[in-house]
Structure 1
Amino acid sequence: MVCIAAANAGATSQDLKTGYLVGATPKYQQIGLLIGVVVAAAVIGFTVQVLDKPTVDAATGLVRHQIGTEAFPAPQGTLMATLIRGLLSQNLDWQFVLVGVFLAVTIELCGVSPLSFAVGAYLPLSTTLPIFVGGAIKGIVDRRSGARASGGHGDDVGAGSLFATGLVAGGTLTGTVVAFLHWSEKVGNAVDSLSLHAILTRGLGEGGYEVLGVVCFAVMGLLLYQIARRPLKL
């Protein structure tokens, strides 16, 4: 429920600009938001029911859930769960919360977005580094196109933004599909057998395999840069 509420709060804060860009009216945006609430409640509830297989720890008697572990990591969900659990049990470490509040005020006075700083603080480096690289590519494209010189913010609906949106959506859908396939142990083992990790590691070594990943990421970044420089044809 908290996840759905947070998602809808974020959608409400952004849908007006998005609707303006695509020519939508507030009436139809609200209708779409209502549809999104119903669909999200059904889909997220079904996903949690399928993927989360709780087990009871024999030593402590506590229930351990799959979501939030190494199998299905969820840093943002874990953070929200920690806050809610602390509020309900009335043992939340308020000193850390207050430190975060004053840090946010200080960062805001320095002219830096506290939300961006907070996201970078609790998300792992493996998540924030690609975000930084994507932002750097957009900054380079904007600088070369003269968007900053003219005081603009670049093309919000350019080819690069659409390509990056597709990457985000594709990665999310692929991760969800793979997680669903691991619902069945036999199907999950069959999917794991298709992985080239073992073959590439034996052929290239552990270090070579990591270098190959960096090269593939660099190629994708170069592709994003090339696409972002193209004018969008409507």
Structure 2
Amino acid sequence: AGDNLQDLKAGYILGATPWRQQVMQGAGVIAAVLVMAPILNLLLQAYGLGAPTPEHPNALLAPQATLMASVAEGVFGAGLPWMMVGIGAVIGAVIIVLDEYLKATQANWRAPVLAVAVGIYLPLELATAILLGGLIAYYARRRNKASGTDAVVGQRHGMLFASGLITGEALVGIGMAIPIVLSGNPDVITLGVELPSVIGLLVIAAISVSLYRVARTRE
């Protein structure tokens, strides 16, 4: 439902008519069926997906898929921990009330229940990147407002840049999986040397600075 609403929103912004959007959504479903199955199979063979196995001890994380699978197995297998579901529902209700209170008091920050829920179930290594991106967006938006720059333009530029990072990371991961599967060697593309952790920190810092500068773009 959320994905469908995003598609309709994008089509509305671009001026597309509803029936044309439906046609393209149908084409998108067909394209996804033809493309996603072989790609997921490739990733499964190269890295593994979901729970770690002896063959793939560092399998790719799939938190949303794992969550949906657990819920489906619990519902159809009559093994769903209803106590935990009830506790989660109560926590969600409390967060909604808190968010409405923050909205009514015009606080500088909010607590949308979906964002909080995502932060709870995502692994720490993924949630940390989201937190860093949120902080960059927050400070860039503040600077844009202080300097009189159009905050909407900066936000759009930042979102496009971040979307490109996500897409690029996914494409690189798929490209790296091809030689791994073809050779049967998970270390076929390794450098053979262990690089210091500071290099990774420098790369993250460079990307963060670039994202901030893009979000501060005036035009």
TM-score, with length taken from structure 1: 0.75
Aligned equivalent of 1:98: 86
Aligned equivalent of 1:215: 202
Classify 1:51/1:213 alpha carbon distance in 2 versus 1 (closer, same or farther; 3 Å): closer
User: Residues of 2 paired with 1:82 and 1:153: CA distance?
Assistant: 41
* SS in structure 1 of the partner of residue 152 of structure 2: coil
* SS in structure 1 of the partner of residue 197 of structure 2: helix
1:67–1:73: 8 Å Cα contact kept in structure 2?
yes
Out of 179-188 and 110-119, give the one that drifted further: 179-188
Instruction: Name the amino acid aligned to 1:135.
Output: G
Aligned equivalent of 1:59: none
Residues 81-230 of structure 1: pairs in structure 2 closer than 5 A: 81-111=69-99, 112-146=111-145, 154-155=152-153, 158-186=156-184, 188-192=186-190, 195=191, 198-200=193-195, 209-230=196-217
Structure 2 segments unaligned to the other structure (5+ residues): 53-57, 100-110
Deviation at 1:157, TM superposition (A): 6.4
Structure 1 segments unaligned to the other structure (5+ residues): 1-8, 54-64, 201-208
Instruction: Name the amino acid aligned to 1:102.
Output: V
Aligned equivalent of 2:55: none
Q: Which segments of structure 1 move beyond 4 Å, counting only runs of 4 or more?
A: none
Aligned equivalent of 1:66: 48
RMSD of aligned residue pairs (Cα, Å): 2.6
Deviation at 1:10, TM superposition (A): 2.8
User: Residues of 2 paired with 1:84 and 1:187: CA distance?
Assistant: 35
1:104–1:114: 8 Å Cα contact kept in structure 2?
yes
Aligned equivalent of 2:102: none
Classify 1:71/1:179 alpha carbon distance in 2 versus 1 (closer, same or farther; 3 Å): farther
Aligned equivalent of 1:3: none
Out of 95-104 and 154-163, give the one that drifted further: 154-163
Aligned equivalent of 2:17: 25
* SS in structure 1 of the partner of residue 59 of structure 2: coil
1:160–1:227: 8 Å Cα contact kept in structure 2?
yes
User: Residues of 1 paired with 2:23 and 2:154: CA distance?
Assistant: 24
User: Residues of 2 paired with 1:189 and 1:128: CA distance?
Assistant: 28
Aligned equivalent of 1:46: 38
* SS in structure 1 of the partner of residue 189 of structure 2: helix
Deviation at 1:186, TM superposition (A): 4.4
Deviation at 1:20, TM superposition (A): 2.9
Give the length in aligned residue pairs: 200
Aligned equivalent of 2:27: 35
TM-score, with length taken from structure 2: 0.80
* SS in structure 1 of the partner of residue 153 of structure 2: coil
* SS in structure 2 of the partner of residue 231 of structure 1: coil
Q: Does 1:79 align with 2:61?
A: no
Deviation at 1:176, TM superposition (A): 2.2
